[in-house]
Amino acid sequence: MLFSYPVTIPHNTPKDNPLIQRLTITRGVVRRIGIFFPFGCMGLVKCRIRYGDHPVFPANLNSYVYSDDETVDAEYFVYMNTPPYELVFEGWNEDERYDHTVNVRINVLPLWALYPFSSQMYEMIQEEIV
């Protein structure tokens, strides 16, 4: 399942007070996260995604992604099995003049899609389904 969230970050949004937006997804396994930075961001818009307090995108602590006219994406294996099923977007915008809208895309596989890869995972899924 693909979840897509356009997120508008106002101009002059500082790093020490970023825009925070909860990205609601569904129970399953996050397999890919991407952020599209449209033309004009010029590296002034910086973002990161957390799962609770843990950094996910990028995975290193106190880091962020930025670009211009490009999608930055990565593959993951984040098992989302306890509510709330959400990731947290943080973004700031160093542009003094323009707001910028990035598009966050999250691909989530349903749990049943994992069973061919692991019999142990399949057994765990079956216990949760019952």
Give dist(CA 45, CA 10) in Å, integer: 10
Plot region of 114 (φ>0 → left; ψ -120 to 50 → alpha; else → beta): alpha
Sorted by where each begins, the domain ranges of the chain are 2-129
* φ, ψ dihedrals at 5, nearest 5°: -130, 110
In a structure prediction context, what are the per-residue pLDDT tens digits for the chain, which is 130 residues long?
A: 999 999 999 999 999 999 999 999 999 999 999 999 999 999 999 999 999 889 999 999 999 999 999 999 999 988 888 899 999 999 999 999 999 999 999 999 987 776 665 556 556 656 665 5
pTM of structure = 0.85
Distances (CA, A) of 59 to 15, 63, 103, 125: 18, 8, 19, 26
Regarding the domain delimited by 2-129, which CATH topology (the fold level of the hierarchy) does it fall under? Jelly Rolls (2.60.120)
- Number of CB atoms found within 10 A of residue 45's CB: 29
